[in-house]
Structure 1
Amino acid sequence: MHQRFVLVTGCSGGGKSTLIEELARRGHRTVEEPGRRIVREELAGEGSALPWIDLAAFARRAIRMAVADWRRAHGRPGDEGWIFFDRGVIDAASAFQVATGRRVLAPLARRYRYRPLVFLAPPWPEIHAGDAERRHGFAAATEEYERLANELPALGYETRLLPKAPVAERASFMLAALERG
């Protein structure tokens, strides 16, 4: 049931992956961000489906990977507990729309639902850093955050802003919010 599927999204470089790692350390099931997996694979194979080379190809691939992640998690009905997704179908479809102008977000978001409460990592310049897998700057990350923050409510999601706090506090904040319903 998608009610167990908790989406963590928001600003690139906002601490999402570190938060997902903390939740995994606490024993929760987690799904790594599709974009990072794709970038690693493309760089290892000298591919071109990279967001700084071909955003449309990258986003298309991210949609396929995020859908496969969602289906894999959905195919385990006996599992209990939360499954935390570091980004997902919505992020990939939003990027694809930006790259191509094709309206795919709403239909994909209707088909691949997450829990109605989505957690957003806000822009946080003090922790934002680029690396080999994240080459865009803070301005682009903030623009992405603002786009997602506007799109999610239009897709029927309630968003909760993650506090700018140490990762253990962020994880506890999320878990408490989920337990309250």
Structure 2
Amino acid sequence: MQKYIITGGPGAGKSTLLNALHQQGYPVSEEVSRVIIIEEHTKAGNCLPWVDLSCFAQKALARMVHNYQHTATTPYTTFFDRGIPDILAYLKDAKHPIAPAYIQAVNDYRYNPLVFLAPPWEEIYVNDSERWQTFEEAAALFHAIKETYLSFNYTLLQLPKTSVEERVNFILSHI
């Protein structure tokens, strides 16, 4: 079935939106980055984006490919909290080299061409143990993410800055 990405800069309400979609019965794939950061903190590991971005990106890619493949045969529409192109955007924003394997993965694992984009939203932005960026850095990442998805011929539909329920209805009206 269809695989839709909900993406955008950090702190734009993606996870909250995905939780609401999940509560309505839709399968969701949680944000891989957050899971890896929590795991690394738990074991005092160094595979963190602000310590070893190469290691972190490799782990994120492996998990995202696994999540994509895991939903390959499901008959249900699935929503992903970020997609493989997000890794390229983060690497690009950090001025880090992008290995050909990342580009190959973006081309091999295509999601629905319509991607939902959560814009920077300062009023709801909050730092936590997995979100270390300033709002300005989050906004810069938003632009890198937007450019990356466009460069891979995805169609971006910006989410309105409105209630979670209205965002859910917005998404469901476009799929």
Aligned mate of 2:167, from 170, 175, 181: 170
Correspondent of 2:79 among 71, 76, 84: 84
CA offset at residue 93 of structure 1?
A: 3.2
User: 1:35 is matched with which residue?
Assistant: 33
Amino acid at match of 1:152: Y
The CA distance in 2 between the partners of 1:58 and 1:52, in whole Å, is 9
CA distance in 1 between counterparts of 2:156 and 2:103 reads 17
- Report the RMSD for the aligned CA atoms in angstroms: 1.4
Aligned to 1:147: 144
Structure 2 CA distance, aligned partners of 1:66 and 1:93? 13
Q: Does 1:71 align with 2:80?
A: no
Q: Describe how 1:15-164 pairs up with structure 2 within 5 A.
A: 15-74=13-72, 77=73, 79-97=74-92, 98=94, 100-104=96-100, 105-164=102-161
Displacement of 1:95: 2.3
Q: Gaps (5+ residues) in structure 1?
A: none
Please give the alpha-carbon distance, in whole angstroms, between the structure 2 residues aligned to 1:135 and 1:100.
Answer: 19
TM-score under structure 1 length normalisation: 0.90
Aligned residues: 173
Structure 2: unaligned runs, 5 residues or longer: none
Shift in Å, 1:99:
5.3
Contact 2:7–2:82 (CA<8 Å) still a contact in 1?
A: yes
**8 Å Cα contact 1:56-1:99 kept in structure 2:** no
CA deviation after TM superposition for structure 1 residue 168, in Å: 0.8
Give, in whole Å, the separation in 1 of the partners of 2:30 and 2:20.
12
Q: SS at the partner of 1:126?
A: helix
Q: Which runs of 4+ in 1 moved over 3 A?
A: 96-99, 103-106
- For 2:82 and 2:48, the matched residues in 1 are separated by 17
Q: In 1, Cα distance between the equivalents of 2:98 and 2:166? A: 39
User: Once the 2 structures are TM-superposed, how far is the Cα of residue 103 of structure 1 from its aligned partner?
Assistant: 4.4
Q: Which amino acid aligns with 1:169?
A: E
Measure how far apart 1:94 and its partner are: 2.9
1:100 maps to amino acid: H
**Letter matched to residue 112 of structure 1:** Y
